Amino acid sequence: MKHSIIILTVLATMSVSLKAQQSYDVAAYLYPAYAADDPRLRPFWPHGMGEWETVYNMQQRNPGHYWDRHPLWGYVNEADPAVMEMEIDQAADHGVNVFIFDWYWFDGRPFMETTLTNGFLKARNRDRMKFYLMWANHNVENYWDTRISKYGGENIIWKGGVDREEFEKICKRNIEMFFKQPNYYKIDGKPVFMIYEVTTFIEGIGGVDAAVDALKWFRAEVKKAGFPDLELQFTMWNQQFNYSGVDSAKSSQERPRDSFARKMGFNSMSHYQFCHFINVDDDYQVVLDQAYQEWDKLDEEFTIPYYPHISIGWDNSPRTGKSAVIRENTPERFEGALRKAKAWVDARPKLHPLITINSWNEWTETSYLQPDDVYGYGYLDAVKKVFVDE
């Protein structure tokens, strides 16, 4: 009997230990606009340092404005592999093990890609970090160029939608150039690819049925390249996905958004920013409480998995001079949100342990993990406490 008790105690201890050793994929979106070697950035930021220009000339453009922040690492060129090596080490040491690159394609060619191709993929320590692409297929309007952003976003510089021929060109290039990289992020062997604006994709490609057919083709191409399948994600917004050709709900038991997602062939979803589905002009805890409710709602409504998302903050005033603002978004409160996401994943053992964060470096939206002169390494240390130290 004594030996049985000892064995049971050891097994219980092992169970707790194994649970504690659960690994998580903490994925931070990376905005690739802080580069010095991409000539296509110059029309928006003529100083040659990408959108750092919007950060460091904020006070010059808006004297006395409350927004006055500076990066502790300086205004670095993230397309420099030496810089990216430092950032990879800092991210990995603090528990961030995946970068989700905002990836752009406008006017028949890639845009803001050098942070990935010249910086990240040429970093000597790139094996410490997985990566995948979120196709940021939104229209480009005035807001990047602070010289004209005050006039609003009605002027479309580039359209984010593409036709079928262009879509096939994009997919073939990404499969060869990125999916086959050894550190491209996969779930069950399937490379993950995220689409930012599903509505823009559908409108550009020619409607729901054309979009469904294009995505089926994409999936077949991924399999042809030797992968078991494609993990196709979409970015959840507040949109209702009301399109012709998609059955609408006839009763409270039906789930039209889930029906739409499955018709399109999506495998999973997450958010990109709290501002996409919450009134962010509020206290951070109020915003977080609404986000937690949304996680539960999506988990119940959809048959495909939802991966919990946490935004660090929101304040777009560096671009526009004024903005809705998340207030009191301290590192301590962010740490609490990380614990909530971790517990949410733990409560769903069949869910792949992926958590998304906005972001690694969205400085001009005031939602970044990188250290600054306000909180220092506070946000990075919060990730480390939850996912490394414990």
CA distance 128 to 120: 11
Angle, vertex CA 94, rays to CA 80 and CA 128, nearest 5: 55
Report the pLDDT averaged over residues 162-175.
Answer: 98
Amino acid type, 372: D
Mean per-residue pLDDT, 100-104:
98
> What are 51-91's pLDDT values in tens digits?
999 999 999 999 999 999 999 999 999 999 999 999 999 99
Query: What is the model's pLDDT at position 242?
Result: 56
Mean pLDDT of 134-148: 87
**What is the share, in percent, of the chain residues with pLDDT greater than 70?**
89
Total domain count for the chain?
1
Structural domain includes residue 18: no
Residue 222 lies in a domain: yes
How confident is the model over 324-337, as a mean pLDDT?
Answer: 98
In a domain, 234, yes or no: yes
Tell whether pTM > 0.85.
yes
Examine residue 244 and say whether the peptide bond preceding it is cis (omega within 30 degrees of 0). Answer: no
Least confident of 50-59, 150-159, 176-185, 362-371: 150-159
User: For residue 15, is it within any domain?
Assistant: no
pLDDT at 255: 85
DSSP conformational letter for 152:
-
Residue range 119-129: mean pLDDT, rounded: 98
Residue predicted with more confidence, 162 or 143: 162
The answer to whether the beta carbons of residues 136 and 103 sit under 8 Å apart is: yes
Residue 69: its pLDDT value, please?
97
Residue 141 confidence class, pLDDT cut points 50, 70, 90: confident
Quick one: pLDDT at residue 263? Answer: 95
Residue-level length of the chain? 390
Q: Does any domain span residue 10?
A: no
Please report the sign of the dihedral spanned by the C-alpha atoms of residue 193, residue 199, residue 202, residue 208.
positive
Q: Which two tokens stand for residue 116?
A: 């990935």
Q: Crossing angle for the helix pair 208-224 and 164-174, nearest 10 degrees?
A: 30
Element spanning 379, H or E:
helix 378-384
DSSP alpha helix (H) spans, 225-255: none
Query: Does residue 249 carry a pLDDT above 80?
Result: no
Higher pLDDT, 19 or 296: 296
pLDDT at 241: 63
Dihedral sign from CA coordinates of 35, 41, 46, 51: negative
Q: Is the dihedral of CA 68, 72, 75, 81 positive or negative?
A: negative
pLDDT at residue 362 above 70? yes
pLDDT of residue 360: 98
Instruction: Identify the three-state secondary structure at position 120.
Output: helix
Q: How much is the average pLDDT of 4-13? A: 41
pLDDT score, position 166: 98
What is the domain-level CATH number for residue 81? 3.20.20.80
> Is 213 within a domain?
yes
The band of 11, judged by pLDDT with boundaries at 50, 70 and 90, is very low
In a domain, 366, yes or no: yes
Residue 95 lies in a domain: yes
Angle (CA) 174 175 176, round 5°: 90
Residue 74 belongs to domain spanning: 23-389
How far is 58 from 66, CA to CA, in rounded Å? 10
Query: Which residues are CB-neighbours of 282 under 8 A, at least 6 positions away?
Result: 326, 327
Average pLDDT over residues 203-223: 97
Task: Tell whether the model's pLDDT for residue 9 goes beyond 60.
Answer: no
- Check residue 147 and give its pLDDT: 79
Contact between 282 and 275 under an 8 Å Cβ cutoff? The reply is no
